Amino acid sequence: MTSDIIAIDGPAGSGKSTVAREVAERLGWSMLDTGAMYRAVTYEAIRQGLDPHDDDAVARLAQSCEIRTRPRVSINGRDVHDQIRSDAVNVAVSVVAANPEVRAAMVARQRAVAETEPGGLVVEGRDITTVVFPDARLKIYLTASLDERARRRGEEGQASVERRDRADSSRVASPLRQAHDAYVLDTTGLSVDQVVEEIVRCLQSTTSN
């Protein structure tokens, strides 16, 4: 298992995916977008006509499907990369992600990626610093003002961003919260480069300790 993990959590539109991708590129590490996994399961549940609230049926799907996130997102061999950010998925994903059995299936897959990763890994999501990799070398909680996050999310709109945040923070299974030992970075008014720079600087300070 790689011991080089940077874990990044934060609410919708805090910049996790963009920043994680750039940090990984800078370091020559791999990146894992765990939100894409929950989105792919949600997309497939809708496609199969399942009710997202049908916990048993969606859990069976999550346990049995094959998901890839790199280089493009696919589920059971179907490329869904461009479909997983649709309104329908935005509406249902927080319901699917609140299902404890779905989470257990995704967390096992995420840890399996780290098991086989020869180099460093940047992982981003909602429960990465608290549940999936609490012993990561560096833990970051990214945030930004609601206005800024809604602006970044564009078409999704502020109401949907707020609704997902509320659902993700209030669910019983692995809610979004700040790990006590995470480095909190408010990205409001910062460029992607500035955030990446700060994370790389934090990583270097862990090395020199």
How many residues appear in the chain? Answer: 209
Among 8, 12, 24, 113, binds ligand CDP (CB under 6 A): 12
187 lines the binding site for ligand CDP (CB under 6 A): no
Query: Which range of residues in 24-32, 47-55, 90-98, 200-208 is near ligand CDP by CB under 6 A?
Result: 90-98
Q: Which residue has the tokens 């696919």?
A: 74
Q: Which is nearer to ligand CDP, 39 or 139 (CB)?
A: 39
How far is residue 20's CA from residue 42's CA, in Å, rounded to a whole number?
23
Q: Which is nearer to ligand CDP, 21 or 28 (CB)?
A: 21
How far is residue 57's CA from residue 59's CA, in Å, rounded to a whole number?
5
35 lines the binding site for ligand CDP (CB under 6 A): yes
- Contact string 127-156 vs ligand CDP (x = CB under 6 A): xx----------------------------
Q: Are 13 and 158 in contact (CB under 8 A)?
A: no
38 lines the binding site for ligand CDP (CB under 6 A): yes
94 lines the binding site for ligand CDP (CB under 6 A): yes
6 lines the binding site for ligand CDP (CB under 6 A): no
Q: Choose among 177, 160, 171: nearest CA to 126.
A: 177
17 lines the binding site for ligand CDP (CB under 6 A): yes
44 lines the binding site for ligand CDP (CB under 6 A): no
Beta partners for residue 142, in sequence order: 185
User: Angle CA(43)–CA(84)–CA(135) in degrees, nearest 5?
Assistant: 95
Q: Considering CB under 6 A, how many residues would be counted as binding ligand CDP? A: 17
Q: Choose among 127, 135, 181: nearest CA to 16.
A: 127
Q: Are 181 and 130 in contact (CB under 8 A)?
A: no
How far is residue 23's CA from residue 1's CA, in Å, rounded to a whole number?
20
Q: Which is nearer to ligand CDP, 94 or 187 (CB)?
A: 94
Please report, as ranges, the residues that interact with ligand CDP according to CB under 6 A.
12-13, 16-17, 34-35, 38-39, 93-94, 97, 125-128, 164, 168
